[in-house]
Chain A
Amino acid sequence: MTVVEISPLIIFFASIITSNMILTNFLGMCSYLSISSEFKTASGLGKAVTLVLVITTVINHLAYRYVIVPLKLEYLQYIVFIIVIAALVQIIEMAMDRFLPDLHAKLGIFLPLITVNCAILGVTLFMVIRSYNFIQSLVFGLGSGLGWWLAIAALAAIREKMAKTKLPKGLEGPGIAFIITGIMALAFIGFSGIFTIQ
């Protein structure tokens, strides 16, 4: 594969903008839609997702490279990744509770939700399919997290602004959220001339 030569910097910016997890890869839609009516909460969830993404992507990269491939367990990779994600989220939550109680009070409620957020597993699977190396995986996890945070915070801010707007019947709630997201995606795709990784 030729992808290995892509510079980490390009991966970083591309995963925030042109390969944004929500706007071009549609990952993490469930929580994106249900937790985006308030800017503060949405931003908190974004932070938590970014934190978990960086850690799980790196650990899953190591697990894939040093455990799954040498033992020829590729067909079990989904199970390994899911267990790693679930366990890491638990550990992060406990560690945060013990060492950073302030942060835990803010982000704690979001952490259990993140286990089932498909962006986390999705980033890991993209990393495996594109065979990134260690540094590339690290920046890919970080960039994807920041991109996810940017998208959910933007949507929440827009929805807050238009909370009192009159909408056609039946379009309120998820309907309009999809339309807004579509327009946002159009804007983000405008950058694809600068850098793309797919």
Chain B
Amino acid sequence: MAETVKSVISRNMWKDNQVLRQILGICSSLAVTNLMTNSLVMGIGLTFTTALSSLTLSAMRNLIPHRIRMIVQTLIIAAYVILVDIFLKAYVPDISKQLGPYVGLIITNCIIMGRAEAFAQKNPPFLSFLDGLFAGLGYTTVLLIISFIRELLGFGTLFGFNVNFIGFETWTIMVMPPAAFFIIGTLIWISSNLLAKSGKKKG
């Protein structure tokens, strides 16, 4: 099945969005979404890793023996994650501390492995790079939506700026883990309804 640039973009951003449709990469998308800044940094880190590891793996796809490809993939992904980690520690140490283990956990993020297995194995480097890039951007978008809701209702701020002009009582529950589960459950519900509707119109 040949994919064009356009189909890669629309598939990753909406139709098969990694978080909402494929239910992948949930761990980090729930843990870092209490602040928008953290979500943005995490999203950029993951997009960088997915795009470059897809590119590398696709370029090497004919060289890697089939039987040991899992460990090769893991090591390549780990190398990029180390780059992200060192970069964050050097330039934004505060955020790096808040993200804690979740930066390292990009290695076991199912999105990257999923893209490497499902797409980069069979497609040329440039397309794989785009595929990884947009899979990461789709993930970042969902993260930003979740954290927008959580930060606005939980702290009354957006990206750390106070937007709580009317003296709204903030909801502590939004900062705590259960809210993340409720919000992502609801988002999955909304998105699958929207998708079912748009599918009906076309078909």
Contact = CB atoms under 8 A, between A and B. Distances in A.
Interface stretch (B3-11, B126-134, B173-181): B173-181
Interface of A: 23-30, 33-34, 75-79, 82, 86, 116-118, 120-122, 125-126, 129, 168-171, 174-179, 181-183, 185-186, 189
A78 B85 CA distance: 10
A78 B49 CA distance: 14
B1 interface: no
B35 interface: no
B93 interface: no
Contacts of A82: 74-75, 78, 107
Contacts of B109: 118
Interface stretch (B58-66, B136-144, B161-169, B188-196): B188-196
Given A78-B82, A126-B100, A170-B188, 9 more contacts: A26-B27, A29-B26, A77-B104, A79-B78, A79-B79, A121-B107, A126-B101, A178-B181, A182-B182
Contacts of A29: 26-27, 30
B86 interface: yes
A27 B86 CA distance: 23
Given A118-B109, A122-B101, A26 B26 contact: yes
Most A Cβ at <10 Å: residue of B75, B108, B109: B108
Interface in B70-95: 71, 74-75, 78-79, 81-82, 85-86
Nearest to B109: A118
B41 interface: no
Given A26-B31, A29-B27, A118 B181 contact: no
B44 interface: no
Contacts of A169: 193, 196
B187 to A, nearest CB: 9
B185 A125 contact: no
